[in-house]
């Protein structure tokens, strides 16, 4: 009899413990805390060349050890559908192994990870700019939306074993929907699907139209979910950050850029081609003052949205193209970091080792140590409070 009573008491305790755990999962905030990071880009995303040994050797454990030693506390890891699934939807094992290797290395070296589904077959953020906007079927196709959810089901099956304090999901990068409500409806659908499987995992959700700071006011955030991070991207002024970038219209400008102040002088404007003048006029580069106050003003809606929902704010992409004059690059970067620190905005630079990066994988050395020093002079992640 005593054994039966003891057994029943044990069962009762286990039920209470399970109930408490379930309530915690549904209603508490996890400990996915971030501040200074970088994008490990052009490896498992936007990389059409490296496969096999070349891709395997491109990013290794020492890269994560380096980021930790420099003072970064997390990474954003972009991944593309074409690298993880073939056209029939079959998993491509090597990419999955590389992804889990990266997360394991990040954990080993005290770095948290945001897994970012960067490009999918039904949606590419630059398709509109490159004249292929019709290829983006995501917002008009129920099948494409279910395919996105199914991809995350498979990712969740592999990643759910990682602590919610260590790994977060960004279920899509830079949405470009014709109507903001199309993106809001998809957010609700994917959020519901993921929450049924992982109720406490941190989800990173960005605004429509390339994760713009200007559209975050239209974002509808799922209610009563504190394990969400709001995200926006920022590369303004593009005439500075993308100076000489061949893939953008403003990259064709060859005159001088000033920062802070009015970006383009009247003389340089007159010397530009008509097509470049049109871009300059559209962005008011000859009339508006660009400085730290302009950056603060641009961030205003994003900061207010984070306050409204009581969520952390995260700038997932920002940076300066490698050919840009370093003095200008550092001035802009310093102003960005100042505003990030003022409003406790987490960030990941674009990027670690590609054409906006600070590390040269081929030479295995810094290509811009001055940029790293500037980044690490900013406010870092505060120490955990004693519990």
Q: Return the number of other C-beta atoms located less than 10 Å from residue 4's C-beta.
A: 8
Q: What are phi and psi of 90, to 5 degrees?
A: -80, 140
Nearest Cα to Cα of residue 159 among 109, 197, 119: 197
Q: Return the number of other C-beta atoms located less than 10 Å from residue 129's C-beta.
A: 14
Beta bridge partners of 103: none
The whole-angstrom separation of Cα 281 and Cα 244 is: 18
Whose tokens are 């400990």? That residue is: 31
The whole-angstrom separation of Cα 50 and Cα 52 is: 7
Is residue 222 pLDDT above 60, yes or no? yes
Q: Angle CA(144)–CA(92)–CA(53) in degrees, nearest 5?
A: 135
The whole-angstrom separation of Cα 28 and Cα 226 is: 7
Mean pLDDT within 274-284: 95
Is residue 185 pLDDT above 60, yes or no? yes
The whole-angstrom separation of Cα 173 and Cα 150 is: 17
**223-244 pLDDT, tens digit each:** 999 999 999 999 999 999 999 9
Mean pLDDT within 146-160: 98
Cα end-to-end span (Å), the chain: 42
Mean pLDDT within 84-94: 97
**291-326 pLDDT, tens digit each:** 999 999 999 999 999 999 999 999 999 999 999 999
Per the CB < 8 A criterion, the answer to whether 232 and 310 are in contact is no
Predicted local distance difference test score (pLDDT) of residue 383: 58
> Chain-wide mean pLDDT for the chain?
91
If one compares 1 and 199, the residue with the highest pLDDT of the two is 199
Beta bridge partners of 229: 204, 312
Q: Is residue 385 very low, low, confident or very high in pLDDT (cuts 50, 70, 90)?
A: very low
Q: Is residue 11 very low, low, confident or very high in pLDDT (cuts 50, 70, 90)?
A: very low
Nearest Cα to Cα of residue 138 among 180, 182, 181: 182
Q: What are phi and psi of 289, to 5 degrees?
A: -80, 130
Helix (H, G, I), strand (E, B) or coil at 26: helix
Mean pLDDT within 152-171: 98
Is residue 215 pLDDT above 70, yes or no? yes
Predicted local distance difference test score (pLDDT) of residue 24: 41
Is residue 271 pLDDT above 60, yes or no? yes
The whole-angstrom separation of Cα 91 and Cα 86 is: 7
Q: Is residue 126 very low, low, confident or very high in pLDDT (cuts 50, 70, 90)?
A: confident
Burial 372-386 (b: 16+ CB within 10 A, else e): bebbeebeebeeeee
- pLDDT more than 90, % of the chain: 86
Residue 307, class by beta-carbon neighbours within 10 Å (0-12 exposed, 13-18 middle, 19+ buried)? exposed
Per the CB < 8 A criterion, the answer to whether 33 and 345 are in contact is no
Predicted local distance difference test score (pLDDT) of residue 50: 85
- pLDDT more than 70, % of the chain: 90
Mean pLDDT within 86-113: 97
């Amino acid at each position: 009899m005593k054994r039966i009573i003891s057994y029943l008491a044990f069962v009762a305790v286990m039920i209470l413990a399970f109930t408490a755990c379930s309530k915690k999962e549904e209603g508490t905030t996890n400990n996915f805390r971030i501040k200074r990071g970088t994008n490990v880009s052009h490896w498992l995303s936007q990389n059409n060349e490296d496969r096999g040994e070349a891709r395997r050797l491109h990013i290794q454990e020492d890269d994560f050890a380096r980021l930790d030693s420099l003072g970064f506390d997390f990474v954003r890891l972009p991944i593309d559908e074409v690298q993880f699934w073939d056209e029939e939807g079959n998993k491509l094992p090597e990419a999955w192994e590389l992804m889990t290797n990266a997360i394991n290395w990040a954990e080993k070296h005290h770095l948290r990870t945001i897994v970012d589904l960067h490009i999918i077959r039904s949606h590419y953020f630059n398709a509109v700019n490159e004249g292929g906007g019709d290829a983006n079927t995501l917002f008009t196709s129920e099948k494409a939306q279910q395919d996105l959810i199914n991809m995350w089901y498979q990712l969740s099956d592999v990643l759910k074993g990682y602590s919610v304090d260590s790994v977060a999901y960004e279920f899509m990068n830079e949405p470009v929907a014709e109507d903001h409500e199309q993106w809001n409806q998809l957010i609700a659908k994917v959020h519901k699907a993921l929450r049924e499987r992982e109720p406490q995992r941190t989800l990173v959700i960005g605004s429509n139209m390339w994760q713009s700071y200007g559209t975050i006011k239209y974002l509808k955030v799922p209610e009563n979910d504190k394990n969400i991070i709001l995200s926006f991207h920022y590369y303004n002024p593009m005439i500075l950050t993308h100076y000489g970038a061949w893939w953008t219209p403003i990259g064709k400008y060859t005159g001088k850029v000033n920062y802070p102040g009015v970006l383009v002088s009247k003389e340089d404007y007159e010397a530009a081609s008509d097509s470049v003048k049109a871009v300059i006029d559209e962005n008011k580069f000859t009339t508006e003052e660009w400085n730290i106050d302009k950056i603060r003003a641009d961030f205003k809606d994003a900061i207010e949205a984070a306050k409204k929902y009581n969520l952390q704010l995260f700038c997932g992409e920002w940076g300066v193209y490698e050919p840009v004059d370093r003095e200008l690059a550092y001035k802009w970067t310093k102003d960005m970091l100042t505003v990030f620190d003022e409003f406790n905005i987490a960030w990941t630079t674009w990027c670690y080792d590609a054409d906006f990066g600070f590390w040269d994988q081929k030479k295995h050395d810094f290509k811009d140590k001055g940029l790293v020093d500037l980044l690490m002079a900013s406010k870092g992640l505060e120490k955990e409070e004693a519990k």
